[in-house]
């Protein structure tokens, strides 16, 4: 038959209670240590992960800064070329006026030629027309210089447009490199065990 609690010695009950209390405290301490170790491991992994991500962000920021500086240089070169083109375009009214003058002189030459056909009978009139044609030819020779200047201006514009095309190609390459760096920035996140 089992002893009743009243039959047991109070010191024995107290000793059993203290032993159970000590065992419970020991288990609690072990559990606290395990929780502390796990928490420490989680904090270490988190700190290492944050450090690696910080290094990746610093590297990518540095790479992005270099790409932005390259883009800024290309944009400055393009601005200079645009200003040169604007200067060349400013000469367009003068070239247009030269072309219109050339058209009017061609019309005059055509009129002179028509006048020559009608004035075959009169030598004096023919000589006047010949003199007029000499003046027109001198003017055509002077217009030849205008045409060479026009050709130089068009060549100058072609060179600047080719330079702009080159700069746009380099700018496209820099934008592609920036896209690649941004995609690489997300790569460390794939190593984390989180979904």
- Delimit the domains of the chain by residue range: 11-190
Q: How confident is the model at residue 90 (pLDDT cuts 50, 70, 90)?
A: confident
Contact present, 86 and 134 (Cβ < 8 Å): no
**CATH 3.30.70 given to domain 11-190:** no
Rg (CA), the chain: 48
pTM, two decimal places: 0.36
Mean pLDDT score, 79-96: 80
Q: How confident is the model at residue 33 (pLDDT cuts 50, 70, 90)?
A: very high
C-alpha closest to that of 109 among 77, 90, 136: 136
The tens digit of pLDDT for each residue in 138-184 reads: 777 776 666 777 778 778 788 887 888 888 887 787 777 777 776 77
In this prediction, residue 35 carries a pLDDT of 93
């Amino acid at each position: 038959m089992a002893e009743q609690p009243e039959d047991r010695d109070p010191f024995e009950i107290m000793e059993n209670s203290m032993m159970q209390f000590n065992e419970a405290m020991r288990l609690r301490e072990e559990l606290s240590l395990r929780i502390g170790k796990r928490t420490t491991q989680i904090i270490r992994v988190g700190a290492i992960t944050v450090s690696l991500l910080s290094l990746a962000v610093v590297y990518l920021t540095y790479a992005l800064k270099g790409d932005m500086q390259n883009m800024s240089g290309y944009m400055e070169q393009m601005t200079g070329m645009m200003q040169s083109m604007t200067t060349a375009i400013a000469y367009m009214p003068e070239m247009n006026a030269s072309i219109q003058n050339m058209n009017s002189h061609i019309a005059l030459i055509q009129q002179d030629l028509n006048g020559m056909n009608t004035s075959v009978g009169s030598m004096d009139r023919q000589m006047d027309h010949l003199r007029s044609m000499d003046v027109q030819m001198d003017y055509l020779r002077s217009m030849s210089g205008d045409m060479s200047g026009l050709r130089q201006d068009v060549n100058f514009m072609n060179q600047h447009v080719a330079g702009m095309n080159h700069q746009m190609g380099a700018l496209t390459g820099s934008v592609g490199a920036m896209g690649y760096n941004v995609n690489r920035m997300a790569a460390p996140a794939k190593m984390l065990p989180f979904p």
